[in-house]
Amino acid sequence: DQQVKQNSPSLSVQEGRISILNCDYTNSMFDYFLWYKKYPAEGPTFLISISSIKDKNEDGRFTVFLNKSAKHLSLHIVPSQPGDSAVYFCAASAAKTSYDKVIFGPGTSLSVIP
């Protein structure tokens, strides 16, 4: 059973518009969340993270929102650029427990159309 879900396998957005990538999780012990970005033929690279003590974290064009009660987080990219076209993985961990492994979602493929 997937503990981290990304229900949209793909998303297309016009350049300059906002991209919103969604992620849901089932394990209430998760308290740290990360987004990774992956280009074809490369490994994932870290993008942004958020701790459960916050509900928002911003880094330039990228903002992650966390709704703990809904077990939902989202990544907003504003404005979207063609170079943002990649697969985005949501990941979660229970950092305060001894189970310190990171669980990845299946990814959402974002296409930013010029």
Please give the residue ranges that form the binding site for other proteins (CB under 8 A). 2, 4, 9, 32, 34, 36, 41-46, 49, 51, 89, 93-95, 100-107
Least distance from other proteins to the Cβ atom of residue 16, Å: 28
Least distance from other proteins to the Cβ atom of residue 13, Å: 19
Q: Which is nearer to other proteins, 20 or 102 (CB)?
A: 102
Alpha carbons 66 and 68: distance in angstroms, whole number: 6
DSSP alpha helix (H) spans, 35-111: none
In the DSSP assignment, the letter for residue 3 is S
Alpha carbons 114 and 20: distance in angstroms, whole number: 17
Token pair of 8 as six digits: 């949209």
Least distance from other proteins to the Cβ atom of residue 59, Å: 13
